[in-house]
Amino acid sequence: MFSSLSVRQTLLAICVACIALLAYGLYLQHVVGLEPCPMCIVQRYAMVLVALFAGLSAAARRRGVHITGAVLVIVTAAFGAFVAARQSWLQWYPPEVSSCGRDLYGMIENFPLQRAIPMIFKGSGDCSKVDWTFLGGSIANWSFLCFCAIAALSLHLVWRSRNAR
């Protein structure tokens, strides 16, 4: 299916998919009432960056920008997948002592950045809690799959562009 789409169309499709996923996350937060944990917020930032890189790359006319954008999408999606995998692991194997940690903004306001960033990735009791599932997968599980699909699709774009030379 994606083989027949141009690189620009595929990057645009990635951008639109990311925006749709972010909109659904905001729906779950503001309408359903699910509060995102620090790891969820980091995944949102990664998704915003993927959408931004894909959208800006799709808007460009030069092939080199498309490839550079696809590589940036791969790196950012891999980072998002890593965070989602870590959160999934915390959900499958919750810590014996779970304590609700501070939210992301509270950490950044009260601690220097070099101390706040490691605290975000440690996760809190909230990060190991499963509030929502679809077909047996939590939000973190689905986020991991989406990031992996985006990275694989972008890798395919880079590979296809490289072989087209």
pLDDT exceeds cutoff 50 at 41:
yes
**Average pLDDT of the segment spanning 50-72:** 86
106/37: higher pLDDT:
37
For tokens 């296809």, the residue is: 160
Residue 29 contacts residue 21 (beta carbons within 8 Å):
no
Q: How many angstroms separate the Cα of 107 from the Cα of each of 11, 88, 91, 118, 165?
A: 34, 22, 22, 10, 48
Question: Where are the domains positioned within the chain?
Answer: 7-163
Contact 74, 11 (CB under 8 A): no
pLDDT surpassing 90 at residue 76: yes
Write out the CATH class of domain 7-163: mainly alpha
DSSP 72-124: HHHHHHHHHHHHHHHHHHHHHS--SS------HHHHHHHS-HHHHHHHHHH--
Sign of CA dihedral 128, 130, 133, 136: positive
At 135, the pLDDT band (50, 70, 90 cuts) reads confident
Question: What 3-state class would DSSP assign to 134?
Answer: strand
Residue range 13-34: mean pLDDT, rounded: 86
The verdict on pTM exceeding 0.85 is no
